[in-house]
Structure 1
Amino acid sequence: MTDSNYFAPHGGLPPQTQLLSGRAVFTEAYAVIPKGVMQDIVTSELPFWEKTRCWILARPLSGFSETFTEYIMEVSPGGGSKNPEPDAEVQAVLFVMEGRGTLNVAGKTHALEPGSYAYIPAGTAWTISNESKAPIRFMWVRKAYEAVQGIDKPEAFFLNEHDVVPGSMPGTKGAWSTTRFVSPTDLRHDMHVNIVNFEPGGVIPFMETHVMEHGLYVLEGKAVYRLNSDWVEVEAGDFMWLRAFCPQACYAGGPGRFRYLLYKDVNRHPKLRYR
C-alpha cells in the first residue's frame, strides 16, 4: 500500500455569508459529524494539557456512545501533558495524522510521526510532548478496560501503519482490506482500533448488523455509507458513530481510496446489569 495523506482538522470559523445547512446528522441509531463542524468554537480544553485543544467526537451519553470516547487532539509547539489520563482503569490508542512529537510510556520514549500507532494499557503512566515547530494532530481513543479473571492484561505496543500489511477480506481481491494492529484471536484485548481500506469500486456487499459499537473517522477519500435506513455521503475528516446492531454497508466509488480508522468493542460478554 502506498503512503497515505491523512486528514486532520485545523479549525477556523466559516464566514457570515456561509449557508447554515450542512451534513450533520444525529439519530437514535447513528450520528455523522462532518469535517465542517470541527471549527474553533466547538473545541474543548482538558486538565493538565498545555497548549492543547481537542474535538470530542464521541462520549458515553444516553442514546449515543456507550463504550468509548474519541478525541482529535491538537498539540501546539511546546505543548503536551505529563498527566494526560485521569482514570487508571482506562486504556488508550493514539494514531497520528499530522506532525511530530514524543511519547513516553512507562519510562520508554517513542517518536511520533504520521501513521504512528500506540496502544497504552490501563494503569500505565505516559506523557506526550511536541518539541517541533508545527502542531501535532492525532486521534485518542479511550475505553475502560474490562478485565477477565485468568486472562492477562495486554502490554503496550508501538508501530507505524505503513509497517503493517493489510489483510484482504475473503473474495475481494484486495478491493476491501483491513490493517489490523491486534490479532482478532487475542482475547486480552477488549477493543480493536484498525484501519479499513477500500480501493475505488470496493464495497461492503451486505448489511452488516452486529453487536459491536463503532466509531469511524475517515482518514482519506470519499464514499457513500449505509447507516440504518439511510445512504449518507462521507469524506475525509468526517466522523460516524454507529450504535450496536445499526445496519451498515459501504460503496467506495472513487476516484481514490477510501480509508477510515475504526473502533469497535470486542471479545467480552455483553453486560447484563450496570452498577
Structure 2
Amino acid sequence: MKNIMVAFMGLLLLSACQAPDATNNSSENTVIIEGSITGATVDKMYLLAERDRQLIPLDSSVIENGMFSLRAELPLPEMLFLQFDGQPDYFRVFAEPGKLRLKADAQQVAALEVEGSASHDLYMQALAIIEPFENEIQQLFAPLSNPKVAMSSAMQDSISLLSDAVYERQNAAIQAFANEHIESPVSAYLLNRYLIFDMDYATLNEMAEAYKVLQPDSRYTRMLTERATLLSASAVGAMAPDFALPNTEGDTIQLSDLRGRVVLIDFWASWCGPCRRENPEMVKVYAEYHPKGLEILGVSF
C-alpha cells in the first residue's frame, strides 16, 4: 500500500508539473484582444476571420463603458476583422497568438491603433506604401462618378490606360515589399489580397514554392499554392485544357479539333465595351494571318 501511495503521489506531482506547460501550449494558439472604442452606436462587436473568401464569426463581445474583449483560437498570424453588430464596415487587425490591445474610433476605421502584433505593424508599413497609389487611382476615376461630366469613349479609354499604369506600379511596389519580408505571413497575405489574380504562373509558382518552405502551415501559402496549381494548366508550354461549346449554328466546336494550328482564343461579351471595340482589330488580324494558318476561336459570355 505504501508503494502504491508513493507512486500515486509521484503521478500527481508529475501531473502538477506538466499542467502549466499544457496551459502555455493552449495560450500559444489563442489570441486575446482587449480594446477601447469611442463613438460606437451599438453595444456589440464581432471578431471575424476569412474562410473560402467569406467572413465567418469567431467570437463576439458586448461593449461596456467603451471596452470590449474578444478571444479566438489562432495558431498562426492571420488577418482578422472586427465588425459592429449590423454595420457594414470593419477594422482589419493582423493578429498574432497572444494578447493584443486595441484603441479604436467607430467613426474612423483607418485610425485603429494596435499593440502587441509585429505582423500588424508590418502590415501598416505596407499600407503606407499602397495608399498613395490608391489615392492616385481614385483621382483618375473621380470624373466617371460625376454625372455633370460628359465622358466620351476615348476619355474613358484614356483613364483606363492611365489607371492600368498606376496598378502596374502599385503591383511592383507590393511585390518588392513581399520579397523583402518574405518570411512574414504579411508577405503572403499581400500577394493574396492584391496580386494573386494578376501574377503569371511562373512568378506565382516561384513565390508559392518559397512560402511552402518558409511558411508551410500558413493558410495564405495554401491559397497561393492552390492558385498556382490552377494556373499550371494554362501555363506557357502546357497543353491547353480542352473544352467544347456550340457555335451560332448549333454545331459543337471543340478546341482539340484545332490542334496543330496556331489558335487565338478570344474571350469577350456583348456588354463589354472594350471587347466590342476590339472586334474590328480581330477581323483584320484574321484576314491577314488566316492564310498562314491562324484560327481565331471566339468565346462569348
TM-score over 0.5 for the pair = no
Which bracket does the TM-score occupy, shorter chain normalised?
A: under 0.3
TM-score (norm 2): 0.24
Tell me which structure has the larger Cα radius of gyration.
Answer: 2
TM-score (norm 1): 0.25
Greater per-residue helix proportion: 2
Bigger relative CO (Cα 8 Å, ≥ 6 apart): 1
